[in-house]
Amino acid sequence: MLSNNPFSILSETISPFAMQSFIIAMVLMIAIGTIIQMIHHKNLTYFFNNAKKAKLSATKKLGVGEKASIIAKTTVVDIGTTSELGFGKRRLAHVLGMYGTILFWISSVVLVFSYTGLDKPNSETWSILWHAGAILTCIGGYWFWFFLRVDVSAEAHPWYRIIKADLFVLALLACATFGLAWSYTQFNGQIGLSFLFLMLFVAANLILFGGVYWSKFAHMFYKPGAAIQKNLAEADGSRDNLPPPADAPEQFGLGIKREEPKHY
């Protein structure tokens, strides 16, 4: 099953052009939803105003090379490994989900545009990567959802408590789960179940990409920018207009040792 391209078999009933058009429509939904959210929430206005204030309070002027080095390091370390979460299970779950999702999306595009159609070759490598990406997304996502969510761990809410902020992770998990289920049932010739899971897979994608405005999807674009701006502010001394750290040692008292840290 892992080396099977489910989109290639689907092309016998649905044209590759329709699948390609669907992917392009999802990309447009991301762009439109993110732009509308930025306009409504004034995210860009905040970042630009904050950058202007920081520039006025900077104590050091950074050169092009220094800025490039900081941006590269932030991209590789802070963004690429979600280092802001520290070392632990939560960070590992995020990394698995993040890279699984990236792999799942990229391989979907490659399979549909390059390996789906009557005159197109088959690629076992990209098919395996598609399944591997979906599996990693499920491992990281379900681990996070059932065991590591902040409000569940620290505020004792039940795992099934759902709020608007959960739209992104739940739709993402639905896409990966229904995608795997569709591939499995299609490979085993279960036509009825295959069609059902295909419809659920399409619906999950519509919710995921069509719900960008209401979900945390756009945070994937905001967080890298915020991380880069933060590190640049640390380097030029502006510190995002925050006061410098105190010289006094950190003293928390013995009470901090009485329980395992669960408050993020």
- pLDDT score of 120: 81
Q: What angle do CA 155, 159, 165 make, to 5 degrees?
A: 80
CA distance 8 to 112: 8
**Tens digits of per-residue pLDDT, 162-191?**
777 788 889 999 999 999 999 999 989 898
- Bin 241: left if φ > 0, else alpha if -120 < ψ < 50, else beta: left
CA distance 232 to 126: 38
The arithmetic mean of pLDDT across residues 42-70, rounded, is 74
CA distance 183 to 95: 24
**Tens digits of per-residue pLDDT, 218-259?**
777 777 777 777 777 777 777 666 666 666 665 656 655 666
Q: Model-level pTM?
A: 0.79
CA distance 128 to 6: 11
**Tens digits of per-residue pLDDT, 83-105?**
766 667 878 888 888 899 999 99
Topology classification of domain 6-235:
Fumarate Reductase Cytochrome B subunit (1.20.950)
Q: For the chain, what are the domain ranges? A: 6-235
Greater model confidence, 89 or 153: 89
pLDDT tier, 74 (very low <50, low <70, confident <90, very high otherwise): confident
Residue 39 has pLDDT above 90, yes or no: no
Count of helices and strands (H, E) across the chain: 10, 0
- pLDDT score of 100: 93
